[in-house]
Structure formats: C-alpha cells, structure tokens
Amino acid sequence: MSKPLRVLGYIILGVIAGLLFAAGSIFVLSRTDWGMKKVRNFAFEWLDKRVEGTLTLGEIHGPGLLKGMRIVDFGIVDAKGREFLKTDSIEVAYSLRTLIGGEIILKDITLYNPRITLEKLPGDTAWNFEYVFPDTTPGESTSKRKLIMFTDARVQNGTAIVRMPFEPDSPIEPADTARLMLEKVPGGIARTMRFEQINTRLNRVIWESPLEKGRLFEIRSLEGRGFVWRDPFVIQSARGSLTMRDTIVALDMPEIRMPGSEFAVFGRIMMEEGGNKFDVQVDSKRIRFADLQWVYPALPDEGGGSVRLRVQSQPDGILWLAQEARLSTPGTNIAGSFGVVTGDTMYFTRVDLRASPLDVKLIEQLLPGGLPVSGLLIGTVEIKGPLSALETSGDMRREGGDFGRGAQIAWGGAFLCSATGSSDLDRGPSDGVL
C-alpha cells in the first residue's frame, strides 16, 4: 500500500475515533448519574454568579439532558436572609441548538408548588428582586442583549406574597386599617397582599430581548384566590397579556371570570415616586355585587348588572367614571353614567342617571354619612350635568319609613353651585309634601 493511502487511512480512523469519543461523552453526560452531577454543578455555578443571595439546587433527574430535566428543591434566599423563591421541583425542556448559539429558549416548563415573595421593606430603595438579580450591564444597548424566552410554561398550586412599607402621611384611626393585612417586618410595618392556589399556563414569556427592553407575559389561562384586603376574591379563569417597560405596566385582559361576574380589563399602571398612577378601563358583561365586596364591603349581597368603568388618576384624586351602567338590586334600578373623584375631598362629575324605583335604605348603606329619610321612593329621578350645574327632575312617592302615611313630590330644575360653595335651586313645578 502506498504511503498516501496509509495516511488517508489513519485520518479516517482518527475521525471515526473522534466521533466515537464525542458520542460516548454525550452519552455519559446525558445518561449517567455522574453526568447529571457534573451538569448540576455547572448549572449551580452559572446561576450562583448571577444571583445575589443564597442558592439551593437539589438533584437533577430526567430521561437525558438532550431532551430535558427535572430539578428538585430549587430556592433562592436574598442577601438579608429572607426567602425570595422556593419550589418543590421544576420540569423543563429545551433546544440544545439554541443554547449553544447563546439564546435561552426553554419550553414545556412546569413549576410545582412554587412560593415567591416580592417585598420592599421599610427603608429600602428597591424591591428584593432588584437586589437578587442586579443589573450587571448598566447602559447596555439592546444589540448586546440575548433572547431569554419561555414557551408553554405552567405553574401548579403557586403562592405569591407581596409586601410594601406601610407609612401613612397623617395620623390614622383603627378603622382605617381594619381591612388591611399588616405585619411587623425589619424596619417597621408592611402591608401584605397574598395570592394563593395559583394555577396558570403561559403561552410565552419574553424575559429579555435584543429588540427592546421590557418583559412580556402572554397568559393562556389563570385561576386562583387573592387577599388584597382581608376579604378574599376568586378568579375562576382569565386570559390576556401583561407588558412591563421601565416603570409602566400595561394590561390587556379580554376575559376575567369570577363566580358571578365576567369582564375585561385594559389600561396602564405607572409606578412613580410618591405613588402609582392609573388609567384602566373595565368593561363588564355581567357583574354580581357579591363578587366585589372585597373591594367595597358596603355593596349589597344581592344584585348586579353591567357597566363600563374607567379608573384614572387625576391631579386632585382618582376618577371613578361609570358609563352605560345598568345596575339593579331588590328595590332599586339605576341606569346611566356618573363619575366620582376621590381624594382629599370627594365630588361627583359627569352625572347622567335615571333611577326608578330608588330604595333609600340602599343609598344609606353605600354612603358613610347616612340619610335623614328612610323608605322606598317609587317613581323616577333624573340627574344630568356637572356638579356645578346639576339638572334634576323627578316624580316620586315614598312608601314605608318613619311616617305612617306616604308622601309624593314632583320637581324639575337646576342646582347651581358658585365658586364660594353657595347654591341656588331653579325650582320647577312641584306638588305634594315630604
């Protein structure tokens, strides 16, 4: 055999031997316990460099690292020794090709019994997740960012706890905090909100993108129970998307279902120093008052309807604008639009309402100050216009209440309020007595 042929044979044998060695290495790393331990140590070191705090990572199991893995007992404790994340196990699949290319694209992720705590303790200038995952590349351009994306992610029986400083600007009464969940934490008192029994499926989560800053969560389904105040609320199902860019959170939730209510939520929440700002719209197909008693306990147990609600921050408070409202309870039917601005003072705006009949007991229940009359007002009341010039008319009679006989009244005119707070009533025809 000639020398060139012998050299070619050695080269071919070397290539075959190299391929066999590579295949054997992949098999050892992906199929054996020894290989799993090596990968576990590599993953631990990789995460530990990117997390400020104490990292716990249990065993890694699975059919093979080329297909996916199951991580047992994963958790993060922040630098202050407070729990940030704890989960029984995580199952994940991925594409080896994208990992080698520098992108992190994980699919078919399931977190079992995760518990996450998001808190900003009194005296802190940032939230705990900002300390746990510090920005190591300030001012980095989007062109240097890598794609970190999760697809088809699930959470089973999750719990989320949110804590923030409770630091009122002025003295408060016990009644002001009766519905809040407060607890003593290092540095002072924190208000706590709790969300539990969370089961969700996310079509896609973009955690980092080379195209633009921000995060995207596409929610395919969501259910759970929450305690923003002491009274709980229940979400039976929800879908939509949530986008976070800098200090702006955008909501696009076309479907949210509660036991007796169904509505959609759209808008933005702007997180700023001194308080958050809102511009959110809620479109309801049906609302049951009992589902909303966690927000306002004075709402009646029975009744509901439909309404388009706009919640918007104003210079002097928060505007609650109800439009196209059709609400009813036993003894009361209300239709139209009205706005309430709450803040240091409360006032009504954009009022265009029609009520027939009107149960005084219900109004007394909803208003903190009560009313000087009682009973059921049967007939019609119409109110239109701004607070400075309310156009009012009505034709009603009262039945029941504190007096033995009923009363009847009809009126029409404008209630005018001057800049000094005085008023003048342009009276129309009236009859009867109250």
Boundary of a domain, candidates 194, 212, 246: 246
The residue assigned the tokens 């200090």 is: 247
pLDDT on residue 431: 35
The pTM score is 0.73
Instruction: Note the pLDDT of residue 134.
Output: 78
Number of domains the chain is built from? 2
* 377 plus 242 within the same structural domain: no
> Cβ atoms within 10 A of the Cβ of 88, count?
16
pLDDT at 393: 63
pLDDT for the residue numbered 9: 42
Task: Give residue 331's pLDDT.
Answer: 78
Residue 353 lies in a domain: no
Q: Is residue 425 part of a domain?
A: yes
| Domain end among 183, 217, 246 | 246
Per-residue pLDDT reduced to its tens digit, 282-328: 999 899 999 988 888 888 889 999 999 998 988 878 888 889 999 89
> Which residues of the chain fall below pLDDT 70?
1-44, 46, 62-68, 94-103, 135-145, 175-176, 272-275, 343-347, 358, 360, 363-364, 366-434
Domain boundary among 246, 269, 297: 246
> Does 270 fall in a domain?
no
- Is 312 a domain residue? no
Q: Give the structural domain span for 416.
A: 373-434
Whether 268 is covered by a domain: the verdict is no
Please indicate, yes or no, if residue 130 is contained in any of the structural domains: yes
User: Does residue 303 form part of some domain?
Assistant: no
Same domain, 84 and 227: yes
Tens digit of each residue's pLDDT (9 = 90 or more) over 95-137: 655 555 566 777 888 999 999 999 999 988 888 888 888 765 5
In a domain, 343, yes or no: no
Residue 279's pLDDT is: 93
